Amino acid sequence: MTKVEFLRNWYRQVWIEADPDAVDRYFAPRTGADGLMPDGQVGPEDFKALVPALLALVRNLEISIDRTMEMGDWLWAQISVHAVAAEGTQPICAAGQVMMRIEGDKITEAYNCFDFLTFFAQTGLLPEDALLLLLSGERMG
């Protein structure tokens, strides 16, 4: 299996099928993913809570792998998330990137960057022009 196929399977099993047991099949023990939460790494147990929390906000989730680059044990991928807000008909389209080291059949390091601002604005949890409001110095909350 190529690293891109590995990543496709991760997104399908963990995010699309919402299988919490799949997390342990992909992550090496004591491995965490950086860049998803401001206070540090997201480990396997954290993913088991994060995935259902985010999936509760959307329906008809699709994840596209738009660009990839492999070098040795490393895979970099640019992704697009497409869905519909759980409440209503608002389309959601947000982008992200992941860089991970895969040894054998396990993720041993992962670094993420995801456009949560766009995601949460499109789910209706932030104002539609949240980025522009923040750039103008407006405070939310």
* Amino acid 81: pLDDT: 97
Q: Report phi then psi at 135, rounded to 5.
A: -65, -30
Q: What residues are paired with 107 via a beta bridge?
A: 27, 102
Q: Which two tokens stand for residue 19?
A: 């299988």
Fold of 3-83+92-115: Nuclear Transport Factor 2; Chain: A, (3.10.450)
By CB neighbour count within 10 A (0-12 exposed, 13-18 middle, 19+ buried), where does 141 fall?
Answer: exposed
d(CA 45, CA 10): 15
Q: What residues are paired with 57 via a beta bridge?
A: none
Give the start-to-end residue ranges of the domains of the chain. 3-83+92-115
The model's pLDDT over 17-57, given as tens digits with 9 standing for 90+, comes to: 999 999 999 999 888 898 887 777 888 898 899 999 999 99
* Amino acid 113: pLDDT: 95
